Structure 1
Amino acid sequence: MSLAADTREAARARPFVLDALRAGVLNHSAAAAWLADEADLGDGNGDADTDAIATALRRFREELPDYGTAERAASVSMRSGVGVVDDDGGDVDGSDADPLLRVGGAAVTPAGRDTAILATGAVDAAALAAVLRRLAVADVVVEAAGVAGETLVVVVGRRDGATAVRVAEAALAAVPTDGE
């Protein structure tokens, strides 16, 4: 592959670089130096033409759609007293209640010390990704998360519940779009 193609591939493999390119806020020279090292875009001897990489980034930016966000119409609520438990597909917590979320061998049940944040409405994987990214920035540890149909579930520690609701509402108000 050419250096330009390698640079595009390296940017695509690092979504934050792609987002910064699309938003027009990337320092091309600094990003070129970082990518040369991080993605090994040099000649294999530690030498990289960072000017050529920066130029490839500028040209790639011209091909990308502008960064944009869209609000998702969703109702966000909090449910206390949930837990993540092993699930064999049967009665997971001794009650008749259905799990809020089931993934592989685990389930989020209405019995525990954690808090579930539920968003119902226009949610999808992109909305879940936006919520998870913002929760990470807010230093909120996520115990479980998933989305199916029109429901998004994120489980956090009890003390982080109120913060997680605010973060989820803000994230759903500005979910990044793919620009198409």
Structure 2
Amino acid sequence: MSLAEDARDAVRRRPFLLASLRAGVVNYTAAARFLTDDVDGDAESVATALRRFADSLPDYETAARTAHVSMESGLGETDDPDDALLVVGGTALAPGEGSLTGVVASGDADASALAHVLGRLDAAGVGVRAAGVADDAIVLAVERRDGPDTVRVVEDALDAVPESE
């Protein structure tokens, strides 16, 4: 594999760096140093490969998503997945069964929007206990006290979802 291919692969394994390259906010020398364990080459050569890769990428753009965001209190584990608001693996969460809060964004929601929402919630210090996306809806389970903040973050995040490469 060439140095340029190694650099592109290393960047694609780090979505934050790919987004930064697309946005044009990268110090290429610092990024090259960051990638030294994954890319065999001197920092200057790797930085050049990153510059060329960045030039080939589409610009970083966002689009607003139209979705209605609501909260469902008292979410908890249930044995009946038919009543569940969210099922992940063998865990089904239904209203009236516990102390979590469910946040539902219905409308223009997909896996890209979920990824962006999860990143924004992480940056806001909100721990997500479970999450899923299906049929144009995102469902998140958070601690009760985090419910209102989660709604605000989700609404704001959906106003500017990055478009895919």
TM-score calculated relative to the size of structure 2: 0.95
Q: Aligned-pair RMSD on alpha carbons?
A: 1.3
Counterpart for residue 125 of structure 2: 139
Counterpart for residue 11 of structure 1: 11
Structure 2: which 5+ residue stretches go unaligned?
none
Counterpart for residue 29 of structure 1: 29
Q: 1:125 aligns with which of 111, 125, 135?
A: 111
Preserved contact between residue 78 and residue 84 of structure 2 (Cα < 8 Å): no
Counterpart for residue 171 of structure 1: 157
TM-score calculated relative to the size of structure 1: 0.87
* Alignment partners' CA distance in 2, 1:139 and 1:103: 22
Structure 1: which 5+ residue stretches go unaligned?
43-47
* Alignment partners' CA distance in 2, 1:4 and 1:128: 31
Structure 1 ranges of 4+ moved more than 3 A: none
* Alignment partners' CA distance in 1, 2:85 and 2:152: 20
Q: Does 1:98 align with 2:91?
A: no
Q: Which has the larger radius of gyration?
A: 1
Q: Could you tell me which amino acid in structure 2 is paired with residue 99 of structure 1?
A: A
* Alignment partners' CA distance in 2, 1:49 and 1:6: 13
Preserved contact between residue 78 and residue 94 of structure 2 (Cα < 8 Å): no
Count of residues paired in the alignment: 164
Q: Per-residue displacement from partner, 1:138-157 (whole Å, max 9, x unpaired)?
A: 11111110011022100000
Offset of residue 59 of structure 1: 0.3
Q: 1:52 aligns with which of 11, 25, 45?
A: 45
Percent sequence identity is 55
Counterpart for residue 100 of structure 2: 114
Offset of residue 101 of structure 1: 1.1
Matches within 5 A, 1:55-66: 55-66=48-59
* Alignment partners' CA distance in 2, 1:161 and 1:31: 36
